[in-house]
Amino acid sequence: MNLLLRIEGEQEAYLRFARDFAVPFTNNQAERDLREVKLRRKVSGCLRTVKGLETFKAICSYLPTAARQERASLVVLREPFEGRVWISPLATG
């Protein structure tokens, strides 16, 4: 019953994967992307500053996005220091 109540009014979103094959069937990718943050929290207990959290969050989202766009992690990490910043085509619309 709870599942039925959650789906009510959201059928389009829940079944989008059936009409648009670019939409993944599961949210496993999102869960895998969070694994690094969970591991960091488990090992150290926390991030010490807000600035540290923001930096960690930016890198943790930047690298998986680059990998999905078939960009090498080391290359996209080095480019900003060389005056070039890679921006995902998905982010630019």
The average pLDDT across 70-75 equals: 89
In a domain, 51, yes or no: yes
Q: How many domains does the chain have?
A: 1
Q: Is 19 a member of any domain?
A: no
E strands, the chain, are none
88 lies in some domain? yes
Q: What is the pLDDT of residues 2-16, one digit of tens each?
A: 888 888 888 888 788
Q: What is the pLDDT of residues 13-57, one digit of tens each?
A: 878 888 888 877 777 777 777 777 777 777 776 777 888 878 887
Tokens found for residue 32: 């895998």
Classify residue 5: in a domain, yes or no: no
Residue 18, burial from CB neighbour count under 10 angstroms (0-12, 13-18, 19+):
exposed
Write down the pTM of the prediction. 0.45
Residue 8 lies in a domain: no
64 within domain boundaries:
yes
Q: d(Cα 69, Cα 64) in Å, to the nearest integer?
A: 9
Q: If you average pLDDT over each of 15-19, 38-42, 62-66, 81-85, which comes out highest?
A: 81-85
User: Would you say residue 72 lies in a domain?
Assistant: yes
Within a domain: residue 4?
A: no
- State the residue range of the domain holding 85: 26-92
What is the Rg, in whole angstroms, of the alpha carbon atoms belonging to the chain?
A: 18
pLDDT of residue 57: 79
